[in-house]
Amino acid sequence: MPQTSDVMSGLGPVPNVRPTLRQRLVRGIGPAGAAYVFLFPWLAGFLVLTLGPALYSLYLSFTDYDLIGAPRWTGLDNYTRIATNDPKFAASVRVTLTFVLLSVPLKLAFALGIAVMLNRGLKGLTLYRAIFYLPSLLGTSVAIAILWRQLFSGDGLVNGILGQFGIDGPSWISTPDTALYTLVILAIWQFGSPMIIFLAGLRQIPGDIYEAAEMDGASKVRQFWRITLPLLTPVIFFNAVVQTIEAFKAFTPAFIISGGTGGPIDATLFYTLYLYQEAFGYFRMGYASALAWILLVIIAFFTAFSFLTARYWVHYDD
Amino acid sequence: MTDAALTPMEEPRAPGRPVWQSVLIHLVLVGISFLMLYPILWMLSASFRPSQEIFNSTSLLPSQVRIEAYPEGWFALRVSFGQFFWNSLVISILSVVGNVIACSLAAFAFARLAFPMRNFWFALMLGTLMLPYHVTLIPQYVLFLNMGWVNTILPLVVPKFLATDAFFIFLMVQFFRGIPRELDEAARMDGCSPFRIYWKIILPLSMPVLATAAIFTFLWTWDDFFGPLIYLNEMSQYTVQLGLRSFIDSTGTSNWSALFAMSILSLLPVFLFFVFFQRLLIEGIATTGMK
């Protein structure tokens, strides 16, 4: 092959270069070593900031610890007190469960309803989608919590509007019976991100299924219940799990609207807020660690429960 | 609305739909849009209103536009909001840099390199996604307290350089797996080291996922309230979110228009991200299911 040799001779003799420092390093540590170099930041973070602390907080949950002295082993004391003699714990669980069980289904219902409406080849889809998504993006900020505190206060906007109809509303955020519902409304207001996920799911449903149903004379309502909803169950399942976990972790709005107290009379004492008060208000670090592990168990229970029941209602293609 | 919501979806661009039905749906959607945006628009207009007018006006147009609330709010606390914005900006940018570097390094190892215990570490990494941060909160606080890091930005920023936001690792692993393997195999044949493959091949091809991670890190860090609340005690260190909280605590409800003015300013960066990166945000959510 003359051409090849021509090319080779054109390049001249192969230069005898020493490998660079980096090349020698790479060869020195081998491929597995190189992989661990990439993995190092994560691995260090995992061991020092996640695994170690998780185990240490499990230990702390069996102690009495105020940050000043050493942790003092108290066995199951924290847990028994939580279970038997802590009205604030009971209140915070009640508040949080009410919040989760109200806000998640309502938020998902809104998200699905609007997504179905938007998925009809409307003009202006991107504009509507953007408008509905905006509150999700802004909603976790302190600014929106402040706004909510004004909207639902005694002389706030909501009562201003009601006043025009001659209704004299209470101060919604300082009435124990209604305070939590203002937070539920705030959560529903942020239905935008599950809506976007529903829209993506709706796109995946092939149009010819609906055509076939149409031929067979299925009404639109029937098509929704028999086609759209079953085919969307994996997305509904996903959204439900993600939103439930998020709802359990909600903190900022309750903190801002109640001024950090969880009031009026513990009506907005979210679990995370109670944990914060115990840890950073009273510096009962052992007790707060026990609360954190109970939260982990509650969330794990809900997640496991949804995964176990999923096989009865979530429809997968195969 | 429920009626329309329960109506089954039609195939896109359904030609046979009567006009009145389209008009009706648009009316419903416009109504909902207005209802959703009304509180934010009202807050915007309230920030330009005299305080006493806020309580008896439900309209969106102020009777007179006054901008005094903005300077009033800006200098209402011992430390100006300029300092708070600067602090938030520094923390957010450092978090973005940390997350993008550390998460992409780890993701590259998981997606492209073979090493002992890879599946084990990967499973653990996925496991941390489910872990509520409360479980690690207190020992982390004790650790940072003993290192003398409390009341500095280090506890908020350093963890990002250690890839503690495992979600983004997962996101990047998914993306890197979609890049054709032939590319890095060819490069390896030519004697490219893994570091060069990461830097010269994978990263340049992964701009969409890196941008998504960067944008969401910025937004989440900017909005974060809990972390700064725990670690920053001195007002000169406060982020915007903490500044707003001090504002409402100190002035209470006496100066709503100044409070709203600062609230609007705190939302402005988020809003700008929304305007300029809407596509990336929405695609990011649709494909990954982020909150």
Yes or no: say if B242 and A105 are a contact pair by the CB < 8 Å rule.
no
- Considering only the beta carbons, identify the residue of A134, A147, A245 that sits closest to B43: A147
pLDDT at B4 over 80: no
What residues pair up with A63 in beta bridges, in sequence order?
Answer: A73
- Note whether A54 contacts B: Cβ–Cβ < 8 A: yes
- In chain A, which residues have their Cβ closer than 8 Å to the Cβ of B138? 53, 57, 60, 279, 285, 288-289, 292
Q: How far apart are CA A149 and CA A159, in angstroms?
A: 12
pLDDT at B231 over 70: yes
Q: What is the pLDDT of residue B100?
A: 95
Predicted confidence (pLDDT) per residue in B45-84, tens digit? 888 887 767 666 767 777 777 888 888 888 888 888 899 9
The most confident of the ranges A62-66, A158-162, B55-59 is: A62-66
**Residue B115 and residue A36: Cβ atoms within 8 Å?**
yes
> A22: pLDDT confidence band, cut at 50, 70 and 90?
low
Q: Give chain B's largest Cα–Cα span.
A: 74
Domains of chain A: 85-313 (1.10.3720.10)
- In chain A, which residues have their Cβ closer than 8 Å to the Cβ of B193? 22-23, 26, 34
If you average pLDDT over residues A163-190, what whole number do you get?
85
Where are chain B's structural domains?
A: 2-73, 76-288
If you average pLDDT over residues B91-100, what whole number do you get?
95
If you average pLDDT over residues B209-238, what whole number do you get?
91
Record the pTM.
0.85
Q: How far apart are CA B291 and CA B286, in angstroms?
A: 10
Of all residues in chain A, the percent with pLDDT exceeding 70 is 90
If you average pLDDT over residues A302-315, what whole number do you get?
84
A137: closest CA of chain B, how far (Å): 8
| More confident call, A270 vs B286 | A270
Q: What is the pLDDT of residue A197?
A: 87
If you average pLDDT over residues A249-271, what whole number do you get?
85
Q: What is the pLDDT of residue B192?
A: 84
Predicted confidence (pLDDT) per residue in B119-150, tens digit? 899 999 988 888 888 999 999 999 999 999 99
**Residue A141 and residue B55: Cβ atoms within 8 Å?**
no
Q: What is the pLDDT of residue A5?
A: 44
pLDDT at A278 over 50: yes
User: How many Cβ atoms from other residues are within 10 Å of residue A267's Cβ?
Assistant: 23
pLDDT at A196 over 60: yes
pLDDT at A99 over 90: yes
**Residue A46 and residue B124: Cβ atoms within 8 Å?**
yes
- Considering only the beta carbons, identify the residue of A49, A121, A153 that sits closest to B13: A121
- Note whether B230 contacts A: Cβ–Cβ < 8 A: yes
Least CA distance to A193: which residue of chain B? Answer: B291
What residues pair up with A190 in beta bridges, in sequence order?
Answer: none
- Note whether A52 contacts B: Cβ–Cβ < 8 A: yes
If you average pLDDT over residues A247-264, what whole number do you get?
85
Q: Is the peptide bond before A264 cis (omega within 30 degrees of 0)?
A: yes
Chain mean pLDDT for chain B: 84
Yes or no: say if A182 and A103 are a contact pair by the CB < 8 Å rule.
no
Q: How far apart are CA A197 and CA A191, in angstroms?
A: 11
pLDDT at A10 over 60: no
Q: Which of A18-22, A124-128, A301-305, B184-188 has the lowest mean pLDDT?
A: A18-22
Q: What is the pLDDT of residue A296?
A: 92
Q: What is the pLDDT of residue B138?
A: 92
Amino acid residing at A50: T
Q: What is the pLDDT of residue B83?
A: 92
Q: What is the pLDDT of residue B8?
A: 41
Give A64's DSSP letter. Answer: E
- Considering only the beta carbons, identify the residue of A49, A246, A251 that sits closest to B226: A251
pLDDT at B31 over 70: yes
Question: Which of A12, A292, A254 has the alpha carbon at shortest distance from B225?
Answer: A254
If you average pLDDT over residues B236-259, what whole number do you get?
84
Q: What is the pLDDT of residue B241?
A: 93
Chain mean pLDDT for chain A: 84
Segment 68-97 of chain A within 8 Å of chain B by CB: none
Label residue B122 exposed, middle or buried (CB < 10 Å: 0-12, 13-18, 19+): middle
**Residue A60 and residue B33: Cβ atoms within 8 Å?**
no
CATH topology of domain B76-288: MetI-like fold (1.10.3720)
pLDDT at B2 over 70: no
pLDDT at B3 over 60: no
Segment 104-133 of chain A within 8 Å of chain B by CB: 112-114, 116-122, 124, 128-133
Q: What is the pLDDT of residue B9?
A: 44
Q: Which of A5-9, B60-64, B260-264 has the lowest mean pLDDT?
A: A5-9
pLDDT at A245 over 60: yes
- Considering only the beta carbons, identify the residue of B58, B115, B245 that sits closest to A32: B115
Segment 240-299 of chain A within 8 Å of chain B by CB: 242-243, 245-246, 248-249, 251-252, 255-256, 259, 272, 275-276, 279-280, 285, 288-289, 291-293, 295-296, 299
B163: closest CA of chain A, how far (Å): 5
For the range B86-91, what are the long-range contacts, defined as Cβ-Cβ under 8 Å and sequence gap of 24 or more? B87/B153, B87/B237, B87/B238, B87/B239, B87/B240, B88/B222, B88/B239, B88/B240, B88/B241, B90/B153, B91/B153, B91/B156, B91/B157, B91/B221, B91/B228, B91/B239
User: What separation in angstroms does the CA of A94 have from each of A27, A245, A266, A277, B118?
Assistant: 60, 16, 10, 17, 42
A·B CB contacts under 8 A: 308
Q: What is the pLDDT of residue A42?
A: 93
Phi, psi dihedral angles at A63 (to 5 degrees): -130, 175
Q: What is the pLDDT of residue A107?
A: 94
